[in-house]
Amino acid sequence: MAISTKLMMRQGQALVMTPQLLQAIKLLQFSNLELAAFLHDELERNPLLEAHEGDGGVDAADPSQGGEPSAAEPFEGPQEGDWAQQDLAVDSATLSADLGADMSNAFEAEGPSIGERARDEAPDGAGLSATSWTGAAGGGPADGEAPNLEAYVADRQSLHEHLAEQLALACPDPRHRIIGQSIIDAIDESGYLRESLDEIAARLEADMAEAEHILATIQTFDPSGVGARDLAECLAIQLKERDRYDPAMQAFVANLPLVARRDFAQLAKLCGVDDEDIADMAAELRRLEPKPGRAFGGAPIQPLVADVIVRAASDGAWHVELNADALPRVLVNHSYAAQVSAVATGPADKSFISSCLQNANWLTKSLEQRARTILRVASEIVRLQDAFLTHGVEHLRPLNLRTVADAIGMHESTVSRVTSNKYMMTPRGVFELKYFFSASIATTSGAAAHSAEAVRFRIKQMIDRETPDGILSDDAIVERLKASDIEIARRTVAKYRDSLRIPSSVDRRRAKLAQARMTTH
């Protein structure tokens, strides 16, 4: 059989991801903050897109209104009799006549007055008059720009900046300042040194004893406890500054795991003190700051804006609507597109305008489709979780993506993208859409299954109702849940308890006994 090259036709099907389709998928999984940032870039890139400011403004996409914003009325400047129109009087005679003040006991001016010196030293047109403040047009400063009020707002100082200022005063040696700045750069937002001091010293080719000395200097900075390598060292630094780091307290801080378990009997043996002293030492420890850098704040907190709002209707149903504040308002300026198309002559210009118009139209359609999809998914979630909205978390139904996708005729991947980073405001609080999807826990009688979130809530309720004499073990919780028709394994109870950050039954019993002992004292 001879090997040769041939041209053959073959028919097949393949999924082609066009740039527009990729953009639509990306828009669907964006949060409202990510979408706002994306639209800001698109507005900068596409001249045919405009941000719609609201119903009160001029609709740029409406050809009847021309798409031209109305010009602002010019500022008239100071009127007749206005104080800003007059030169500032600085001589004593004028001040006495205008203000009715006795200037006989005032200091005599040595040399020319302030106003005269200002006029002599300032360039032409820069005297102390109305034009100095309002400019030639009377609408702003002399350069025609409005004053930047944000420049006068105090910026919040970061922890690193605060430590760097103290380092400049504490370490006059430039070599020590370089080592100290490297140590400060390795301190996290909580105030802890997260990089090994050996690595810092090796990177700077510095002596380890020198690095230890500079770290000890930084640990004396404000806030107290900063630069510690672990919690025990952080607490020890603060106790030393308070002159409370005696041998008993040193042993107390060295056994923080026992403190966390509230094993005060063992701590009393290790520290050589009685129960009353242990209670005082524990109270002293609670007054310390475990995260010294917390006072300076961390990364900016992004505001949480709900995408969907659910309200109770008068007929007992639920009214689901999109949050208008979270919806993007982007319009296509067709009138401007027609104007620039009429004057475009070159093929490159026409191609650019056509591409911008096509992308703008596709973007607006994608945003509308995104809004409709979010509303459909949220409405179906509300319909399926009606009991949760009415009665609470214990009535949350088990739910998966396939159930919602089949109900609204969409793919599971689409529902997954819609529920990511989207939030719903309900009468019971603001929840992420992912919250309403919970695993199923079987029942002992074969009835309707329970959701994992509802079972987790029941476990928390049981533990909250415990008494010092009735601490529930994981096995006891399993038996109580089985009595409530919930089939669950002991390891699942332990997993749910750990996710709720609830200690074991032994630690809870020891903590309640210690609390009762402290209350008695």
Closest alpha carbon to 381 in 430, 420, 435, 427: 435
Flag whether pLDDT at 371 surpasses 50. yes
11 vs 85 pLDDT, higher one: 11
Token look-up 């695993």 returns 439
Cα 442 from chain centroid (whole Å) = 38
Pick the closest to residue 370 from 308, 300, 320 (CA basis): 308
Query: Taking residues 446-474, what's their average pLDDT?
Result: 86
Residue that has been written with the tokens 């919040």 in this structure: 156
Per-range mean pLDDT, top range of 32-46, 73-87, 440-454? 32-46
Q: In sequence order, what DSSP letters do the residues of 117-185 get, joined into one string?
A: HHHHHSPTT-SSSHHHHH-SSSSSSTTS----GGGGSPPPPPHHHHHHHHHHHH--SHHHHHHHHHHHH
Look at residue 440 in the predicted model and tell me its pLDDT. 84
The secondary structure of residue 424, as a DSSP letter, is E
What pLDDT is recorded for position 135? Answer: 43
Sheet containing 318-322: which strands, arranged edge to edge? Answer: 318-322, 308-312, 423-426, 429-432
pTM for this entry = 0.61
Tell me the mean pLDDT in the region 77-93.
44
Q: What are the two backbone dihedrals, phi and then psi, of residue 6, each rounded to the nearest 5 degrees?
A: -130, 155
Q: Which of 437, 461, 451 is nearest to 488 (CA)?
A: 451
- Phi, psi (5° rounding) for residue 286? -70, -20
Which residues face 425 on adjacent strands?
309, 430
pLDDT over 70 (residue 115): no
pLDDT at 517 over 60: yes
In terms of average pLDDT, the best of 116-120, 301-305, 489-493 is 489-493
